[in-house]
Chain A
């Protein structure tokens, strides 16, 4: 027993020492501050940079794959040698990897490709560099015009819609509709469809860009032929990460709803409206026209279903285009905007915004920070952006998207351009508590989709109340959750 006591006391002392160590970690920041005006001279030096990105995601990798071009550029312009390497993590755990590294104030990753909703969390923790001065002070960056104001709102600002910029858009992305052109062009299908539903089966971009949900559901119904192994639609309902949420939001937004009020940070009363409940029901109703097992589908499964010829349409990200359109499907795929709703007599269509900004690690030492800044400036040069697009990335630069022939470089670029506007797409909240809010709603949305809960409104009530509580407790919102929150249960 005496021995054990000795052991315990030794460990207690060590514990206190170590605890003191870790809680005092904040002071390391001071060294990492970079000079605001002056360049750091790196003539003749070799700097090694690491970019953290999404595992298996080509646009993400392109940053490093195109780095040799930057290397040459930097050598000529600034006289230093920059070598880049890539580190990746599974997409659904990328946030964990980035956050655990940044929390240690480490320089492990100099540039991080993050998801737009993390901007709040990363900036709030003081881990990333505020980019306003970099952008204003740099000739390329200050003159680069984005395709649409939504680019800044989504990939750069936190707080939402403010002018505080924390990231630069590495890649733009929107949720679009992939359609099997060969199926809708087929004369037999067209004849039968017209006979059954009374209107022409849409087969052009223009027709789809004004397609209402009820007509779209008819199309899905038409192509649901289990005996032939064909279904109308593949769409995401998986609980993992943000899969179901990303596919649900267009229903909410296109029918005139909102997920929160960004000015007051209110969720209660905004998310849980009857209109949104209907939107949730409509989203889940598509399961009838989806392959069995679709209730568990994420990005990968939707892709598999589409490329294996199991579905006529698929709700998928534009950035997945090169994977969705396999050599076998070449020329057979039409990529169009998502269907919309008639709201107060007007056609409304809002899709989910995806894409990734990249952010600069605040703890980079001056040398690495300088290279990172130069790299950012180089990335947005017109020639770099054109190369990026050619290799399969989605640029957000106005000049590039306006350039002649842009739409034809890849089949999905037309829909991408069309949706990447404030009118046609929207992003999630960027608040630091986004992970908690997301996990909560994913659990309940998927619960509803799988039949664990039966009343869409009660599900939304629960989510809205809990999310309001999260924001209120964190001091983000001044609006408290409803007083009867304990009685608000999803059923």
Chain B
């Protein structure tokens, strides 16, 4: 009896997972359909998959360049953010300089402003600096965007690493630098991963900043998607589905492989073992 209950329980869990995944699956499958098949009701479950549209996507609209833009800008921005945040988080955790709590709160307040609000002065500022349509401008903006969350998570984790570790290294003649990078850093891996994944999701999928402040050199996929939505043939459903498939897959893969760290990481340092 217990076996059956357990099996039913497991099946229920899988059903829940599949329900959430269903729309995503629908989009992924649509990448292989022709437009008519996509729009047909009753929905076509069995159809002849066509790779042609998918392949087409890669050749049109500077897809590869936009993809590289997206990946590189997101990746570099988040990495810089984590490095910078790590330094600050260590300081907040160990030294508690005056105004720590206030600054932590201020950092969080950055995320509170709707994109359209923050982009107005950013846009005017970028124009004045000549940073529109530049990799530097885009990347650094996303870096700032990723700092608040990184600081919060990393501080939580560093708080959880006993001060004794620091002491041991310092007393035996090591530098602060060694403390941070040889001792603390390896112990907060889950925090690093969680910060990385959480922020990369946002920068990866952001539309507004790249649209307003970016230009033809730094077009990212979300902007390319919005642009390529309409063609003379109406809404290009297959295009959207293909791009969504290619663009979402890396994130899903990352979530799959780093899941353990992600789950621990989201505890903000209250747990160092398994979740």
Which A residues lie at the B interface, using CB under 8 A? 1, 3-4, 18, 21-22, 25, 50, 55-58, 87-91, 93, 96-97, 100-101, 103-104, 106, 108, 299-301, 303-304, 307-308, 319-320, 322-323, 326, 392
Contacts of B226 in A (CB 8 A): 90, 93
Select which of A50, A58, A106 is within 8 A of B232 by beta carbon.
A58
Q: Which of B6-14, B124-132, B181-189 contacts A (4 or more CB under 8 A)?
A: B124-132
Contacts of B127 in A (CB 8 A): 22, 25, 103-104
Closest to A299 in B: B230
Select which of B40, B212, B215 is within 8 A of A96 by beta carbon.
B212
Contacts of B129 in A (CB 8 A): 18
Do A3 and B98 form a contact, CB below 8 Å, given A56-B227, A106-B132? yes
> Is B16's CB within 8 Å of the partner chain A?
no
Chain A to chain B contacts (Cβ below 8 Å), 23 pairs? A1-B98, A18-B129, A22-B128, A25-B128, A55-B230, A56-B227, A56-B230, A57-B231, A57-B232, A58-B231, A89-B211, A93-B211, A93-B226, A100-B212, A104-B127, A106-B132, A108-B133, A300-B235, A301-B234, A303-B234, A308-B36, A320-B232, A322-B232
Report the 4 A-B pairs with minimum CB-CB distance, sorted nearest first. A56-B231, A303-B234, A55-B227, A300-B235
- Do A307 and B98 have beta carbons less than 8 Å apart? no
Select which of A18, A56, A100, A104 is within 8 A of B229 by beta carbon.
A56
What 1/0 flags go to B212-238 for Cβ under 8 Å of A? 100110000000001111111111100
Bound together, the chains give a CA A50 to CA B133 distance in angstroms of 15
Contacts of A323 in B (CB 8 A): 231-234
- Do B228 and A55 have beta carbons less than 8 Å apart? yes
Contacts of A21 in B (CB 8 A): 128
Bound together, the chains give a CA A97 to CA B215 distance in angstroms of 9
State how many angstroms separate the Cβ of A329 from the closest Cβ of chain B: 12
Bound together, the chains give a CA A304 to CA B226 distance in angstroms of 18
- Do A89 and B227 have beta carbons less than 8 Å apart? yes
Please indicate which of the listed interface residues B97, B227, B234 has the most CB atoms of chain A within 10 Å of its own CB: B234
- Do A56 and B215 have beta carbons less than 8 Å apart? no
Select which of A1, A22, A88 is within 8 A of B99 by beta carbon.
A1
Select which of A87, A101, A104, A308 is within 8 A of B39 by beta carbon.
A308
> Is B58's CB within 8 Å of the partner chain A?
no
What 1/0 flags go to B116-156 for Cβ under 8 Å of A? 00000001110111001100000000000000000000000
Do A55 and B124 form a contact, CB below 8 Å, given A3-B98, A303-B234, A323-B234? no
Do A300 and B234 form a contact, CB below 8 Å, given A3-B99, A93-B226, A104-B132? yes
Select which of A18, A55, A101 is within 8 A of B125 by beta carbon.
A18
Bound together, the chains give a CA A108 to CA B216 distance in angstroms of 9
Bound together, the chains give a CA A1 to CA B98 distance in angstroms of 7
Bound together, the chains give a CA A24 to CA B140 distance in angstroms of 25
Do A4 and B99 form a contact, CB below 8 Å, given A55-B227, A304-B235? yes
Do A90 and B229 form a contact, CB below 8 Å, given A3-B98, A308-B36? yes
- Do B230 and A91 have beta carbons less than 8 Å apart? yes
What 1/0 flags go to B90-104 for Cβ under 8 Å of A? 000000011100100
Contacts of B215 in A (CB 8 A): 87, 101, 108
- Do A18 and B233 have beta carbons less than 8 Å apart? no
State how many angstroms separate the Cβ of A410 from the closest Cβ of chain B: 13
Closest to B41 in A: A229
Bound together, the chains give a CA A96 to CA B128 distance in angstroms of 18
Contacts of A308 in B (CB 8 A): 36, 39-40
- Do B211 and A97 have beta carbons less than 8 Å apart? yes
State how many angstroms separate the Cβ of B136 from the closest Cβ of chain A: 16
State how many angstroms separate the Cβ of B243 from the closest Cβ of chain A: 13
What 1/0 flags go to B71-101 for Cβ under 8 Å of A? 0000000000000000000000000011100
- Do B227 and A88 have beta carbons less than 8 Å apart? yes
State how many angstroms separate the Cβ of B211 from the closest Cβ of chain A: 7
Bound together, the chains give a CA A303 to CA B228 distance in angstroms of 16
- Do B235 and A87 have beta carbons less than 8 Å apart? no
- Do B227 and A90 have beta carbons less than 8 Å apart? yes
State how many angstroms separate the Cβ of B194 from the closest Cβ of chain A: 29
- Do B39 and A304 have beta carbons less than 8 Å apart? yes
Bound together, the chains give a CA A388 to CA B86 distance in angstroms of 59
Bound together, the chains give a CA A1 to CA B102 distance in angstroms of 10
Please indicate which of the listed interface residues A3, A91, A100 has the most CB atoms of chain B within 10 Å of its own CB: A100
Contacts of B227 in A (CB 8 A): 55-56, 88-90
